[in-house]
Amino acid sequence: RKEVEQDPGPFNVPEGATVAFNCTYSNSASQSFFWYRQDCRKEPKLLMSVYSSGNEDGRFTAQLNRASQYISLLIRDSKLSDSATYLCVVDLRAGGTSYGKLTFGQGTILTVHP
Amino acid sequence: NAGVMQNPRHLVRRRGQEARLRCSPMKGHSHVYWYRQLPEEGLKFMVYLQKENIIDESGMPKERFSAEFPKEGPSILRIQQVVRGDSAAYFCASSPETRRSYEQYFGPGTRLTVT
C-alpha cells in the first residue's frame, strides 16, 4: 500500500465548477499535512497546510480527518489558472521530532477549460 | 530574499559519467532536502541534510549517490557512473531551523538526462 494515495484523476472541469480531491495516508504517526501545487513539471509550491479543524483560503478549503487518515481539498469557482497537478503531502515524524521528510502522493491533474 | 537556487537547470551526461547538482538554500535556512521525480511519477524523498551533517539518507540509492552540505557553499548531490534510469528532475528544498511545521520551499529543479 502506498504511503500517500490520491484520486488518480485527471479531472477536466469547466470554469466556475467546484472540484474536490481526496487523499489517504497510511502512517498514523503522520503529523503535518499539506497540499502543494505543481505546474508543468516545475517545482512544487505550497498551496496550503491542512489542520484538523479545517481551513479555508479564498476559494480553497482543506479538511483533515485523523480517524480515517483522510485529507481533502475543495476548489470552488474554478479558474483557468487553477489547471495544475495537486499533490497531497504528509510529513512523517520519528520519535516525536519533526524533521520534514515529506511524502508526496502521485498527484492529481486538474484541467479547467473555458 | 532570493529563493532556493539550483544549478544547472538542465544537465546532460553520457552513461558512466558523473553528475553534480548544486543547491543553495534560501537565506537563513539551514535545512536542505533533496527529492527526485522520475518521469510520470511523484516526488520521492532522497536525503535530508543540515550543515556538515546528513540527518536522514533513507531515500538514497545504496550505490553511486552521495550528498553533502558543507559549512561553506551549496549542498551537492553527486551521482557517479550515471545510468539511463537516473534521468529525472532533482529538486532541492530548504526550511528554516525555527519553523515547527517545516514547510519547505523548493528550488526550480535540475533536469538530468542520461544519454
Give φ, ψ of B62 to 5 degrees.
-65, -30
C-alpha cell of residue A96: 516525536
Distance set, CA A52 to CA A64, A66, A77, B29, B70 (Å): 5, 7, 24, 28, 38
Interface contacts (A, B; CB < 8 Å)? 59
Q: What is the pLDDT along chain B (115 residues), one digit of tens a residue?
A: 579 999 999 999 999 999 999 999 998 888 899 999 998 788 999 999 988 899 889 999 989 999 999 999 999 999 999 999 999 999 999 988 755 446 788 999 999 999 9
Mean pLDDT of chain A: 89
What CA–CA distance (Å, rounded) separates B23 from A95?
Answer: 29
Is A100–B89 a contact, with Cβ atoms under 8 angstroms apart? no
pLDDT at B1: 56
For residue B8, is the peptide bond before it cis, meaning its omega torsion is within 30 degrees of 0? yes
- Strand-pair category, A108-113 with A11-14: parallel
| Residues in chain A closer than 8 A to B56 (CB atoms) | 99, 101
pLDDT at A74: 97
